[in-house]
Amino acid sequence: MASSPDDWSTQSNDALHISLVRPENGASKTINTFHPKFTYPIFGEEESIFGYQNLKIHLRYNASDMRPGVLITYSKRFKAVGDVEPTDLKELLSDFLPENAFQKSPAFDAAINDPNLKDFTPPGKLLKSHEEGDAAYEIWYGNSADPAIQQLLRRLQILVALFIEGGTAIDDAEWGSGRWTVFLLYKKGPATGDASPYTFMGYCTVYNYYPIIPKLPLAAPGTQRKAISLPANSDTAIPFPDQSLSDLPIRSRLSQFIILPPFQGGGHGARLYSTVFAHYQSDPQTVEITIEDPNEAFDDLRDLNDLIYLRSLPEFQALKINTAAEVRSKGRVPSDEILEQAPLNELRKKVKIAPRQFQRLVEMQLLSSIPPSIRKSGQLEHLPPNTLATKMKQREYRLWGLLVKQRLYKHNKDSLIQLEHGERIDKLGEVAGSVEEDYARLLGKLDGGEDEVKDELLGVPEAIESRATTPGKRAAEGDELDLSVRQSKKVKVEDAEEE
């Protein structure tokens, strides 16, 4: 009986097995095995491999130095008929792995059993460590210009394709620029006789941006703005002749962020994020910390960490809506009367959080002081008692809503002006309602008291990755107005500034 094409097709997500292994008695012992989330960057949109039966692709990593080794097994291989041939697995994988990953299995086992690897320590410098039981969790960091960091990145970059939707690997040429910093998360267990005590758990990369030309003040009436002149042979590279990189302010953008599946759900992603955040907050050269195109799970982790941090600051805790602010039926929202903006902007610069993210956190904090019964007061069955205190909270809630709608309108003006006035108001109210629902969901995670808050935070699901893109790309995210479909719970916006 002739076989059908389906008999020779395998789903690549199922076929690919990723393992962490340790050396043992001259061979390797598997300690964790997991599947990728995506394989379409390697095997195509259908995520299907043709030409094999009972196919298994084993991508084995030495748990300490992450040396990769590929082992492919199958029971039958399709015999080529004309132009129809089995998928060339090595050819496809070779774009994502170093050449030595395709050595035969005995060579891989021999390499990871090298006695010198018993003394392996992660590349770079130790940034932070904490102990749990008989294990320590360490975060190391180093610059991409370091050859040891570059070697590790080459081994890890396939993980970007396998776990970050739309992720793009960092080009080798970019590593040498020294503008990437890599943070590595390791578990350090008890010492053993055969292997290093270190187990790789995850990593993130941060790219440093330098402003090239500052904004100039407006020219005086009747005069022309003075142009910036560069040498005739200038390629606008920085630093300028009279400056060094250490003199320039930088914006540090977190790009790739991966916690391996066996270590997700234990709060390790939250600890890595908060450590990276604290590192750049204490860096005098960094003026702003941004995130590149985060997904929803990462958004949650970031929001919770940032909000808990800001709540430790007295000036943030003291934020309060001015219920005496006068709001006219027509005209602009008096945002500076509702909430004084100058000290708020100074606080934002102090904590180095990007403008839109900081605005969202302020909105969450202000909403947290408004009881849920007041937020639901538009529904008759939830009307609270008609007291003076209730009326003041209701006014506070209305002013809060104006601030949120003002921000949404500014970021979505081009879309909103396409609508009729009444439809514009309805759409803005719809999106503001979705934003409020999402804030309430996040605030609900912080309602259990300080100890419970930390436990809740550490339990955030860690399918957490920031989608990496080329360094020049600006992320499009936020509370984007969709004029044709109903908004989802997690509303997105297209912002003018970095996230």
Which residues are tagged catalytic?
A: 292
Listed in sequence order, the residues at least 6 apart from 465 whose beta carbon sits closer than 8 Å to its beta carbon are 163, 164, 167, 256, 257, 258, 295, 298
| Assigned token pair, 477 | 């995210």
Whether 240 has a binding-site annotation, put simply, is: no
User: Cβ distance 137 to 186 under 8 Å?
Assistant: yes
Q: Would you say the C-alpha torsion 419, 421, 427, 428 has a positive or negative sign? A: positive
Whether 259 has a binding-site annotation, put simply, is: yes
Whether 257 has a binding-site annotation, put simply, is: yes
d(CA 77, CA 285): 57
| Assigned token pair, 93 | 């994988």
In order of 177, 252, 311, the CA distances from 180 in angstroms are 8, 9, 30
Q: Would you say the C-alpha torsion 293, 433, 333, 306 has a positive or negative sign? A: negative
Whether 258 has a binding-site annotation, put simply, is: yes
d(CA 203, CA 207): 14
Neighbours of 471 (CB within 10 A): 18
C-alpha radius of gyration, the chain, whole number: 27
Backbone angles phi, psi at 20, to 5 degrees: -100, 130
Backbone angles phi, psi at 186, to 5 degrees: -130, 150
d(CA 401, CA 307): 20
Q: Which residues are annotated as a binding site?
A: 257-259, 295
Q: Which residues are annotated as a binding site for acetyl-CoA?
A: 257-259, 295
